[in-house]
Amino acid sequence: MSPAPEETAENVTGSEETVHIVGARPNFVKAAPVVDALERRGMRQSVVHTGQHYDDRMSAVFFRELGLPKPDVDLGVGSGSHAEQTAALMTGLEKEFIVRSPGRVVVYGDVNSTLAAALVASKLHIPVAHVEAGLRSFDWSMPEEVNRRVTDQLSGLCFATSPEAVGHLADEGVPVGRVHLVGNPMIDTLLRHLERFDVAELRGRLELPEKYVTATLHRPANVDDPETVGRLVERLHEVADQVDVVMPVHPRGRAAFAAAGLGDHPRVWLLEPLGYLDFVTLVRGSTAVITDSGGVQEETTILLVPCLTLRPNTERPVTITHGTNRLAADSELPGLVSKILVGDTFGTPAIADVPPLWDGQAGERIATILAND
């Protein structure tokens, strides 16, 4: 529905409806506890799915498994360059916000949908709340770093998952009254479904070996350059010489890894993308995880699975200081996996050492603040 010509940013007025913007699978996992907590408070809300992830295995299955309500709107934006995708997102979201005139827009994480929604809402004078504010890698080559920094500056409420995130926001001049340390809603979702992660059932259904390492790689720095991919495949084959490697292949890197011969090793298992329950179950049963995903760093911290993050930096250092995560170069992977296989897990903590407020109540804290704001 297109807005009437006279409907402009200047005369859009707020309502009590809260609109949640989700576009990619990490957003769904973070939004579920917040949507649920607001629902129990009887607050008016709707979910707008931008369609940034549009394949069923990357999107719809998450709604089904997490109990999220069917999106009120699916913009179906799809893929494209950063400029093309962000422009399409902004155009679609502007029309939607003018029609809906929400009282607040809640955005999650650091994907292009997050940035686009924050920009559009701000220009329409609609308050923005950012869940997972303040994370910083200090690596401007990462699109996510740009997205989260701009989004935080535009957000009236910044919900931080860890103490260092609060510090980053303070350093950047975000007023203290806008910042709330609430914990991690992604961990709410994990803890809520913990009993459903049945490793034995998954192994049997997928015919997986008893001992394996899970690999999941999708970031541009790791999958866009054929030379880099070729080197990674060599290292993963060296890991597979020691232990089976199971890799759900993200669409972004599928062609590159296939061209480099990743599946040619007899102990490398290539899977289609998995839904939330199957993927976290796979991680839970792993001897170790090799990843470049931010969310997986957090999930392994709670599941106490050694995690090797194939990046020079992380916006989630709390997963190193309070978790099982370690940054690694590709050349280090075979040696580090070898150590893990003999029991050296570089200081895996006791469960009592998990990051503060990662207790399954972040969604409740966020909902309380939104309801009272």
Question: Which of 299, 294, 308, 295 has its CA nearest to residue 340?
Answer: 308
The three-class DSSP label of residue 261 is coil
- Taken as a whole, the chain contains a residue count of 373
Whole-angstrom Cα Rg for the chain: 20
Q: What are phi and psi of 212, to 5 degrees?
A: -160, 160
The number of beta carbons lying within 10 Å of the beta carbon of residue 7 is 14
> Any long-range contacts for 196-205 (C-beta under 8 Å, 24+ apart)?
196/277, 196/281, 197/277, 197/280, 197/281, 197/284, 198/281, 199/281, 199/284, 199/285, 201/281, 202/278, 202/281, 202/282, 202/285, 203/285
Known catalytic membership, residue 82: no
Q: Of the listed 218, 250, 265, 322, which one is catalytic?
A: 218
Q: What are phi and psi of 58, to 5 degrees?
A: -105, -5
The number of beta carbons lying within 10 Å of the beta carbon of residue 248 is 17
| H or E, element range at 63 | helix 60-66
Cα 312 from Cα 336, distance rounded (Å):
16
Let me know how many helices (H) and strands (E) the chain has, helices first.
16, 13
- Could you list the active site residues? 218
